[in-house]
Structure 1
Amino acid sequence: MIHSAEEFIALRDSDNKEEYDRSAFEEAPLAVWRDLIQRYPDYRPWVAHNKTVPVEILAELCNYGPDIRQFVATKRRLSRELFILLSQDPAATVRQSIAVNKKTPLDILQSLAKDEDADIADSATRNAGKRA
């Protein structure tokens, strides 16, 4: 378990593969994730990258720029609400990540298949077609 924002940063920045991997695979309390998000904005993508980060924290990360939202949109264990929110994002890169996400619900893919951006529409159509 990761016990502080500073511990996460030390693990993430480590040259030791075992320590670096801990930053991607170990859990942390909600307070630690929130502290990281608030005090260390450069580490927000790495919070999203962690395999154990709670959906609640992923939702909080959606309050930041399109680069962070795009990172969140690649996650497979999003809530339905987050899939919907990110599928309607003003940034095409975020919608594209939802269009190719293997866990995006079919009805959301069908909606993205009508996106004004042809690449997003095509990706959503192909992703939906793989499930038929």
Structure 2
Amino acid sequence: MIHSAEEFVALRSSSLKDEYDRAAMEEAPISVWRDVISQFPEYRPWVAHNKTIPLEILEALCEFDPRTRWFVASKRKLSAELFERLSQDDDPDVRVAICANKKTPLEILEKMTHDLDEDVVRVAKKNYERRKLQRAITPS
């Protein structure tokens, strides 16, 4: 378990693979994640990258820069509300990340095929069609 914001930053900054991996795989109390977010803004994307990060922290990370929101949009464990929210993000790269997310609900992907950004539309259409086809050929 990661016990402090400073420990997380040290692990994430380490050149040792075992330590670097701990930053991506180990749990930490919500208070530690909040400390990292407030004290070390440049590490916010790496908080989102952690495999154990709770939804509450992912929601908090959506308040920051597009790079951090992109990391959040790439997570598969998002709530329906976060998928919806990020599908309407101001930044087209964040919306593309939602389109590329294998867990984005089909209804949201379908809506995104009408986005104003051509990259968003392209990725949304590609993944919408691929997933509809998979659904049709995969027995329930």
The TM-score by the shorter chain falls in which range?
over 0.9
Is 1:76 matched with 2:62? no
**Partner residue in 1 for 2:40:** 40
Q: 1:20-59, aligned counterparts within 5 Å?
A: 20-59=20-59
Q: Give the distance between the partners of 1:27 and 1:94, measured in 2 at CA.
A: 25
Instruction: Please state if 1:8 is matched with 2:12.
Output: no
Structure 2 counterpart of 1:61, which letter? L
Give, in angstroms, the shift of residue 125 of structure 1: 1.1
TM-score (norm 2): 0.92
Percent same amino acid among aligned pairs? 58
Give the distance between the partners of 2:47 and 2:94, measured in 1 at CA.
17
Q: Which moved more, 1:65-74 or 1:18-27?
A: 65-74
Deviation of 1:61 after TM superposition, in Å, equals 0.2
Aligned to 1:118: 118
TM-score using structure 1 length? 0.97
Unaligned runs of 5+ in 2: 133-140
Quick one: distance in 2 between partners of 1:24 and 1:93?
A: 23
CA deviation profile, 1:78-99 (whole Å, cap 9, x unmatched): 1110000000011111111101
Structure 1 position 107 matched with structure 2 position 103: no
C-alpha separation in 2, matches of 1:19 and 1:39: 21
Q: Deviations over 1:9-38 (max 9, x none)?
A: 111111211111000000000000000000
Q: CA deviation at 1:117?
A: 1.0
What is the total number of aligned residue pairs between the two structures? 132
